[in-house]
Amino acid sequence: MSEFLLDIRDLKLGFKSYAGLIEVLHGISLNIRRGEKVALVGESGSGKSVTARIILGLLQEFSTARISGSVSFEGDDLETQPLSVRQGLRGTKISMIFQDPTSSLNPVYTIGVQFQEVLRRGDVQISAKQAEARAIALLEDVSIPEPERVLASYPFQLSGGMNQRVMIAMALANEPSLLIADEPGTALDVTVQAQTLHLMRDLVERKGTSVLFISHNLGVVREFADRVYVIYKGRLVEHGRTSELFHSPRHPYTKALMAAVPRITGGGIPDIAEATDAYLDPMIDHEAEATS
């Protein structure tokens, strides 16, 4: 059995266009052990979300995408698996939570109908009554009061925080081995976001679920992840255990991200690009190799 639940090695991504190949990822390598919570942190456009979509096998369906490297899950290289196998992992062994819960749910179906669809991915023979009972139990797990009322509601009838809890319950419904959380709670106010992340952390720890936590906010990551990878312009520039990285960050981009965390006292937010570009671009290949 492989040491890692997820093992990504030298992952490269480009998109074919009329102007030639546009390179997005430049040799990403990261891994996640069973039961481990790992964060992938960087600003918008750094390559976080496309990495997650490659893991799910979504970008492989685009004819313009050019992908190389290996993505192994539970010891199997997903790039060598048939499309049907990769699709079968979604919502079962690998689940994902997206940033905006309300837009991720279908507005024309009730929460109960959408829950049944999720549960049937894990068990095609589950009855409507069994699915309802399971959904109620899952909603209670995420501290939703009156779960029967929520199941009968449409997404637009619920608050953003309530919809995010529904999304967490759905993502964990089929007891996945890996949960990918793409900026969860970003669309929520800070109080609800903190409550949601605390709830999600407790649930995944109780169930032993591995997590790839995607974020631009190191302040949030500090409270959630066991290890952190920092990505900049499609390259990993630093990684380490969360406590070590926060105590002694090595790369100027990591330091700039930490300085960009909002604080009550003044001082302004530094320009991350200005703080890193001059140093980073000539050194980036060396840095990525040294910290991988």
Instruction: Report the CATH architecture of 4-291.
Output: 3-Layer(aba) Sandwich (3.40)
Coil, helix or strand at residue 285: helix
- pLDDT for 1 equals 63
Residue 88 is encoded by which pair of tokens?
């079968």
Mean pLDDT, rounded, for 17-43: 95
pLDDT at 16 over 70: yes
pLDDT per position as a tens digit, 151-162 = 999 999 998 889
Predicted confidence band at 291 (pLDDT cuts at 50, 70, 90)? Answer: very low
**Rounded Cα distance, 110 and 134, in Å:** 16
Q: Where are the domains of the chain?
A: 4-291
CA distances from 268 to 121, 203, 260, 272 (A): 48, 36, 8, 12
Percentage of the chain exceeding pLDDT 70? 87
Report d(CA 281, CA 274) in Å as an integer: 12
pLDDT band, very low/low/confident/very high, at 262 (cuts 50, 70, 90): low
Non-local (6+) Cβ contacts of 281 within 8 A are: none
| pLDDT tens digits, one per residue of 195-231 | 888 888 898 999 999 999 999 888 888 889 999 999 9
- Return the number of other C-beta atoms located less than 10 Å from residue 59's C-beta: 19
Q: What is the pLDDT of residues 87-116, one digit of tens each?
A: 899 999 999 998 777 788 999 999 999 999
β-bridge partners, 179: 95, 211
Q: Strand runs (DSSP E) across 170-249, as ranges?
A: 178-182, 210-215, 227-232, 235-241
Question: In DSSP terms, which residues pair with 212 in a beta bridge?
Answer: 38, 180
Structure tokens given for 11: 């992952």
With cut-offs at 50, 70 and 90, classify the pLDDT of residue 273: low
Q: What is the pLDDT at residue 290?
A: 45
Distance CA 204, CA 206 (A): 5
